[in-house]
Amino acid sequence: MENIGIIELEGMEFKAYHGCLEQEKVRGNVFTVDFRGELDLSAAAESDNLNDTLNYGEIYEIVAEEMSIPSELLENVAGRIVKAIEGNFPQLVKFSVRVSKKRPPVDGVAQWSRVTLYHKR
């Protein structure tokens, strides 16, 4: 029996230096990253064993590593995270990564700018 389920890791928060403007590269900003993955959770539902599921601590480590590398575009950051997750977790059927920048530098009020990438095998 197959039990496709969802594992999420939301609100991972980082101080990072992503952006096109010089001030963003120097001062940095607050970013959040959200992960949502779908996979077969049948074995984990029966076994209660971490080896039978996706270790979200490992997802966090991948995200933290990629967030530490400055990029001009959120699309690039999200793309690197997707590529690293894809390479490390073949059991994922599909997943998404959302990268959000707090108070982006625009000529007006904006709480967040966001990029979401979806990946499906």
User: 4-120: which CATH architecture?
Assistant: 2-Layer Sandwich (3.30)
**What single letter denotes the amino acid at residue 45?**
A
Residue 72 half-sphere exposure, CB side, CA atoms within 13 Å? 3
Instruction: Share the mean pLDDT of the chain.
Output: 95
9-45 pLDDT, tens digit each: 999 999 999 999 999 999 999 999 999 999 999 999 9
Q: What is the pLDDT of residue 121?
A: 84
Catalytic residues: 101
Q: What is the 3-state secondary structure (H, E, C) of the chain?
A: CCCEEEEEEEEEEEEECCCCCHHHHHHCEEEEEEEEEEEECHHHHHHCCHHHCCCHHHHHHHHHHHHCCCCCCHHHHHHHHHHHHHHHCCCEEEEEEEEEEECCCCCCCCCEEEEEEEEEC
Q: Encoding tokens for residue 94?
A: 């599909």
**84-102 confidence digits (pLDDT tens):** 999 999 999 999 999 999 9
